[in-house]
Amino acid sequence: MYEMTIQLRTDGSSCLYEQIYEYIKQEIKEGKLLAGERLPSTRFLAEYLQVARSTVDYAYGQLLSEGYIESRPCKGYFVCPIEELFQLEGMEAAAAPEGTPQFKRECGNASDVGQYIDFSPYDIDMSGFPFSVWKRITKNILSYANSDLFARGEAQGDYELRQTISRYLHSSRGVNCSPEQIIVGAGNDYLLMLLEKILQPHVRIAMENPTYKRSWQIFRSFGYDISTVDMDEWGMQADKLEQENADIAYVMPSHQFPMGIVMPIGRRMELLKWADKEPGRYLIEDDYDSEFRYHGKPIPALQASDKHGRVIYMGTFSKAIAPAIRISFMVLPESLLKKFLRDCAFYSCTVSRIDQSIINEFIRDGYFERHLNKMRKIYRAKHELLLESLQPFKTTFHVAGENAGLHILLTSMKGMPEHVLADRARECRVRVYGLSESMVKHMSDSATVLAGFGGLTGSQIQEGIERLRKAWL
């Protein structure tokens, strides 16, 4: 067992758990902690460092999430084998974790649709939208009487907004990019269509199964040859990807939809290694809801580890702010940026310059960060309430995907098919969503349904789970 001598700082410059997490991670990266080596137990390390056991638990939990260590039942914690660590500088730029205040049970103001309770995984809580701030920013921008706002802007989006997005991505997601690499567009659908004009024709796309179905439909409309790659508990399998002879892999490493998998660092490195083997290989990273994570701090983006220009990073403000805010962005590697400037620079930006100015000021002046902190608290409260309400189900249902995002997965341990689960729920005026709806290739009969909580109030969550208890138990 490895003995650690950690000099903890008590000056308040960083959290104790974060210091422990950073120390162990650095020891692993430098090879001082070897693969398979056992770490001290949380109890022993807490006593040795004279800190609360929960502090060590928190640090180990973050290391588990990122795949640096693994937990073996009845044995303890061990260093994971990581085949090859690329240069990971810049990953430390991820946002710091929030504190753990007490939250109210009742959150949001979503209303029932009829008498149904809809556990949609796509809905968000609009009660927290900062209407007054948004109105004030809009009024101020329009009062400037700036005629330039009504002129045609840059094809990639206004430079000021791209500069703001670049700074935000670096500080919150560890993404390293210049404003010149960013393209702003009205939703990911448009950006994927633009990407089709940038990539070489007749590319072969590899996707996870199940996956985000709309992206699959868009790729299919391009006439691309699409293959599916099996997942394990850590996401897309790089060795299976190699067998598919793919040029592009579409992944959601921070929170896979719909499975809720958070891809660990080892698997990320395997994907980057795959992309680096052949020219013309790229990874499309869809980072659609990385802001909402309930244990530890946000895991840096895959692009943060990319040192050879192999990751096409895509993000959106739709989940974090509102679906109607049709502002998404794409970060192109330098090689593809040259193709865009050569072949696609004549395309006009699809987002109004007024909307670009509003979102720019919203982020730049700190309103976006405050909004995210508020929504994290709201969603965390709902998330905790949902899991608490599901306690009577724990002997008959397996719960997965509970560490991040706005939905969980419920799998019947008795093998009850998803259509039976959905039908029985519907009889009790509850809507849940079958996992098969997100499958590109039918695998086995699914016994899993998705239950989202973003658009529901606390009372709706409780009432909905009570109805499901009557329907399923």
- pLDDT grade, residue 12 (50/70/90)? low
Number of folded domains that form the chain: 2
In this predicted structure, the answer to whether residue 314 has a pLDDT above a threshold of 80 is yes
| Selected residue with higher pLDDT from 89 and 208 | 208
**Pick from 340, 365, 390: which residue ends a domain?**
365
Is there a single domain that holds both residue 61 and residue 163? no
Lowest model confidence (mean pLDDT) among 7-11, 303-307, 469-473: 7-11
User: Is the confidence at residue 104, as pLDDT, over 50?
Assistant: no
pLDDT reported for residue 452: 94
Q: Is residue 54 part of a domain?
A: yes
In this predicted structure, the answer to whether residue 58 has a pLDDT above a threshold of 60 is yes
Domain boundary among 81, 103, 138: 81
The domain that holds 283 is classified in CATH as 3.40.640.10
Do 225 and 316 fall within a single domain? yes
Higher pLDDT, 73 or 98: 73
The verdict on residue 421 lying in a domain is no
pLDDT of residue 297: 67
Average pLDDT over the chain reads 86
Cβ–Cβ < 8 Å for 406, 260: no
Q: Which residue has the higher pLDDT, 134 or 6?
A: 134
CA angle 105, 453, 330 (to 5 degrees): 125
Task: Evaluate if residue 42 carries a pLDDT over 80.
Answer: yes
State the average pLDDT over residues 60-73: 84
- Asked whether residue 13 carries a pLDDT value surpassing 80, the answer given is no
Range of the domain at 194: 153-365
**pLDDT at 188 exceeding the cut of 60:** yes
Q: Quick check: 447 and 434 in contact, CB under 8 A? A: no
**With 50 as the cut, is the pLDDT of residue 227 above it?**
yes
Residue 472 lies in a domain: no
Residue 53: which CATH number?
1.10.10.10
Confidence of residue 95 (pLDDT cuts 50, 70, 90): very low
Query: 15 or 156, which is more confident?
Result: 156
pLDDT tens digit sequence for 387-428: 999 999 999 999 998 877 899 999 999 989 999 999 999 999
Nearest to 18 by CA among 61, 82, 77, 72: 61
Last residue of a domain, which of 81, 114, 135?
81
| Choice among 285-294, 333-342, 343-352, 373-382 with the minimum mean pLDDT | 285-294
Q: Regarding predicted confidence, which is higher, 401 or 381?
A: 381
Work out the average pLDDT over 109-137: 79
**Domain for residue 111, yes or no?**
no
Q: What percentage of residues in the chain have a pLDDT greater than 90?
A: 51
> Residue 446: its pLDDT value, please?
83
- pLDDT of residue 85 exceeding 60, the answer is no
In a domain, 438, yes or no: no
More confident: 352 or 109: 352
Question: Residue 87: pLDDT above 80?
Answer: no
State the pLDDT confidence band at 88, using cuts at 50, 70 and 90. Answer: very low
Is residue 66 a part of any domain in this protein? yes
How confident is the model over 110-135, as a mean pLDDT?
80
User: Residues 56, 200: one domain?
Assistant: no
Q: Where residue 103 falls among pLDDT bands split at 50, 70, 90?
A: very low
Q: What SS3 string covers the chain?
A: CCCCCCCCCCCCCCCHHHHHHHHHHHHHHCCCCCCCCECCCHHHHHHHHCCCHHHHHHHHHHHHHHCCEEEECCCEEEECCCCCCCCCCCHHHCCCCCCCCCCCCCCCCCCCECCEEECCCCCCCHHHCCHHHHHHHHHHHHHCCCHHHHCCCCCCCCHHHHHHHHHHHHHHHCCCCCHHHEEEECCHHHHHHHHHHHCCCCCEEEEECCCCHHHHHHHHHCCCEEEEECEECCEECHHHHHHCCCCEEEECCCCCCCCCCCCCHHHHHHHHHHHHHCCCCEEEEECCCCCCECCCCCCCCHHHHCCCCCEEEEEECCCCCCCCCCCEEEECCHHHHHHHHHHCCCCCCCCCHHHHHHHHHHHHCCHHHHHHHHHHHHHHHHHHHHHHHCHHHCCCEEEECCCECCEEEEEECCCCCHHHHHHHHHHCCEECEEHHHHCCCCCCCCCEEEEECCCCCHHHHHHHHHHHHHHHC
pLDDT given for residue 1 in this prediction: 54
pTM of the predicted protein model = 0.79
Whether 451 maps to a domain, the answer reads no
What is the predicted pLDDT for the residue at 75?
86
186/323 same-domain check? yes
pLDDT at 207 over 70: yes
Question: Is 89 inside a domain boundary?
Answer: no
